[in-house]
Amino acid sequence: MRAVVYERYGPPEVLRLAEVNRPVPNDDEVLVRIHATTVTRTDAGLRSAELVISRAFTGLLRPKNPILGMEFSGEVEAIGSAVTQFKVGDQVFGGRGSGAHAEFIAIRESQPIDHKPANMSFEEAAAVFDGASLALPCLAAAGSLEGRSIVVYGASGSVGTAGLQLAKTFGAHATAVCSTKNVDLVKSLGADEVVDRTQEDFTQNGRKYDVIFDAVGKTSFRETRRSLKPGGTFVDTDPGYMFHVPLLLLATRWVGDRKVKMGIARFTKDDLLLLKDLIEAGKFRAVIDRTYPLEDVVEATRYVETGHKTGNVVLKVVG
């Protein structure tokens, strides 16, 4: 099968299309022919190893798993003898830590995979899970959002578009912070108020919020704490969280009345099923910026690394 592989850490150019062995599903696994996947910030970070500590998980000197890709949609090609929830030909979507930048992926039936929402294309379904996999634990860390005010900083990215829609679903009054070109988009996603960050600094408007959710890791507790209500929470997604956010989390637990929390990305079946229910109820949608064929993965990755994508960047594997 065709797959995008990388055999060393480095710039996008280390990615190449290659022929590799097709996975063979175990008894409890589903083999999916992938129609679409995405290129994410996490994919880019793992490939470049910009966070050196990530090598403890991906391989110290070179990648242990040479195929990136965290979410997918497609059709069931084969099933193991113990699989009961799926049959060959089912349209499915889901997510896993790696392996989706390929024509096929094998995933356990108990892992995050389910039937694709009927009201979504394969491209849209492929772009559902990664942003939400971080937004959900971040919002959970802030506690109940019912009737509370939240700022979603970076509301037009993959995590931000998911976080904004989920915050509204959970009953929050949401203020979205984004650039001028994305104002109409975040309004369409349900934002109660929008701050154009190129025209206004939300920390200087005199308003106080219950939660500030930084969905892009480009602000800080120090910069925003005066915009938090007493008892308010700052939730960080800074990719450098393993160095400083735990320290702030511990410090604010004991000192002061404003807290720092963090979320750790997770891929669970329960989260996928929640998202599917919201999609089918018309309360959640995937936002797609650009779509590239699989063979243009280097170009797609370069675009993701500009830091200016809106929502998700999709790789089309089939067709």
Together in a domain, 134 and 253: yes
Together in a domain, 205 and 310: no
- CATH at residue 209: 3.40.50.720
pTM as predicted: 0.92
Tokens of 52: 């050196």
Taking 70 as the pLDDT cut, the residues of the chain under it are 51-53, 56, 238-256, 319
Together in a domain, 135 and 256: yes
Q: How far apart are CA 202 and CA 220, in angstroms?
A: 13
Domain around 236: 130-262
Together in a domain, 9 and 106: yes
Q: What is the pLDDT of residues 253-284, one digit of tens each?
A: 655 677 888 888 888 999 999 999 999 999 99
Together in a domain, 99 and 145: no
Q: What is the pLDDT of residues 151-197, one digit of tens each?
A: 999 999 999 999 999 999 999 999 999 999 999 999 999 999 999 99
268 domain-assigned: no
- CATH at residue 58: 3.90.180.10
Pick from 132, 142, 72, 138: which is nearest to 107 by CA? 72
Check residue 129 and report its DSSP letter: H
Q: 């965290």: which residue's tokens?
A: 70
- Cβ(126)–Cβ(36) below 8 Å: yes
- Cβ(307)–Cβ(189) below 8 Å: no
Exposure on the CB side of residue 131, measured as CA atoms within 13 A: 34
The H-or-E segment that residue 247 falls in is helix 241-254
At position 257, the amino acid (one-letter code) is: D
Together in a domain, 159 and 237: yes
Q: What confidence score (pLDDT) does residue 244 get?
A: 60
146 domain-assigned: yes
Together in a domain, 88 and 119: yes
Number of domains in the chain: 2
Check residue 18 and report its DSSP letter: E
Together in a domain, 116 and 148: no
Together in a domain, 136 and 256: yes
Instruction: Work out the end-to-end distance of the chain between its first and last CA atoms, rounded to an integer number of angstroms.
Output: 15
Q: What confidence score (pLDDT) does residue 253 get?
A: 63
Together in a domain, 205 and 298: no
- Cβ(232)–Cβ(141) below 8 Å: no
